[in-house]
Amino acid sequence: MTDIQHPCPKWCVTEPGDARHIHRTQRTEVNRFKSGTSASLSTRGGSFGLGGPAGENEIVVHAWHRTAESDSVSGDLYVPVRDASHLAGVFEALSYVTPTQVRELAAGIRQAEAEMTAEPEAGA
């Protein structure tokens, strides 16, 4: 969200002369490149206006990965700042499971989405 009418809050790192002037925090980024597989995750806070009402402070997580066998996959998740501790808890929990288990969880999320967005069968 562009917000040139309001001054940056104390946590804002956007320069006042920046034409986009999105209120945001410093970005944290992690990357891993191994044997033809690349992954990058980053997170920051801000007033993006994409995950909730305009002007609401949010946490955004951007994820990107590619393997030698697949095209790149990316996505952004915008979470209201009031849920930031829950999001951090999910990431903490992920550090205790294996990559295979994380992929199982991702498959479960995709399956739930497919089930919940499927067209009802005729006559049902």
Q: In sequence order, what DSSP letters do the residues of 43-71 get, joined into one string? A: EEEE--SSSSSTT--EEEEEEEEE-TTS-
Residue 73, pLDDT score: 85
Please report which confidence band the pLDDT of residue 1 belongs to, taking 50, 70 and 90 as the band edges: very low
* Residue-level pLDDT at 2: 43
CA angle 48, 53, 54 (to 5 degrees): 50
Give the highest mean pLDDT range of 32-41, 58-67, 68-77, 101-110: 101-110
- Domain chopping of the chain, boundaries: 28-117
Q: Which residues contact residue 62 at a Cβ distance below 8 angstroms, ignoring those fewer than 6 apart?
A: 40, 41, 42, 43, 74, 75, 76
For residue 24, list its beta bridge partners: 46
- CA separation for the pair 93, 23 (Å, rounded): 29
For residues 8 and 22, the answer to whether their CB atoms sit within 8 Å is no
What is the CATH number that goes with domain 28-117?
3.10.450
> Given a cut of 90, is residue 96 above it in pLDDT?
yes
The share of the chain scoring above pLDDT 70, in percent, equals 79
pLDDT in tens, 56-91: 788 889 999 888 888 888 889 989 889 999 999 999
Q: pLDDT at residue 49 above 70?
A: no
Mean pLDDT across the chain = 82
Number of CB atoms found within 10 A of residue 41's CB: 15
